Structure 1
């Protein structure tokens, strides 16, 4: 019985403190929500403009995974077609000549989340993407010719529509 009274006292205390605090902070929460809404709207507009400015670009994205990183740098990057640019993710740091904010957003919205490497193509203001994770590691583990992997990469870019 005593424990029950203590629980009731704690609930009443939290209500007495919680209600005034929530009323006090409600205007700040509303202002923050409005500010956040317009920030997102502004970012989306800038992002759409950015996608228009890089229309037709193709990106090969890879990360620092030990068993693939060095292979990609040695066997894939030098053989990529001239119109394919690479984006390197070193942990959370993005290594690219493009605007980090937009490329990070692009990578965070990848629909085919099976793992790096990813192919990204900008087509008609939209980001098209594909994961080459399973194909890449099959090629690597079977010691297949890296030229065949380049052909696979180019074929997958052509299929992105």
Structure 2
């Protein structure tokens, strides 16, 4: 009796799985082109954003408590005015630019770790993580001038190497 009940459950499960598969195939064939088109459209808009903002510099930091306090109170007043600030609150970027483009930019960075500096050069984002240098300095005596020097040096490295990238 137990064996028959197990076979009935197995048969029902397999049949149900096949029916779900048969229903989902046509739905996915209908939806997939729309998703692909929307992604291509967003890629094109993102590339336009990069082209329109060529040369812009960004400084991105996170909401980690001791980092946030130091950056907000000490570092931000000292960084150059031409550097755009991105505050990454969890996974949501806060800046003066459209969130969807900044999210895409952050998703595609090559050097993971925050704080991070980025510059748009010839339609591409070049980034440098300052995590190691920042935390070493923060664990010492956290001199703002040394951290701003790291930021400026990072942008200088990007400028010096942009032709070889």
Deviation sequence 1:10-50 (CA, Å, 0-9, x none) = 22112222223321232111112111111111111111011
1:48-69 CA deviation, whole Å, 9 max, x = no partner? 0111011110000011111111
Equivalent pairs counted in the alignment come to 159
Question: TM-score under structure 1 normalisation?
Answer: 0.90
CA displacement at 1:154 relative to structure 2: 0.5
Match of 1:143 in 2: 141
Point out where structure 1 has 5 or more consecutive residues left out of the alignment.
none
Under a length normalisation based on structure 2, what TM-score does the superposition of the two structures give? 0.88
Once residues 100 and 137 of structure 2 are traced to their aligned partners in structure 1, the CA distance between those partners, rounded to angstroms, is 32
CA positional deviation for 1:88? 0.9
Superposed CA RMSD in Å reads: 1.6
* Number of the residue aligned with 2:99: 100
User: 2:92, 2:103 within 8 Å by CA — same for their partners in 1?
Assistant: no
User: What are the within-5 Å matches in structure 2 for residues 46-85 of structure 1?
Assistant: 46-85=45-84
Tell me the equivalent position of 1:34: 33
Alpha-carbon distance in structure 1 between the residues aligned to 2:99 and 2:38: 17
Partner of 2:21: 22
Equivalences for residues 117-156 of structure 1 within 5 A:
117-156=115-154
**Using the alignment, how far apart are the partners of 1:4 and 1:41 within structure 2?**
53
CA distance in 2, matches of 1:24, 1:96: 43
Going from structure 1 to structure 2, the CA distance change for 1:144 and 1:67 (only over 3 Å counts) comes to closer
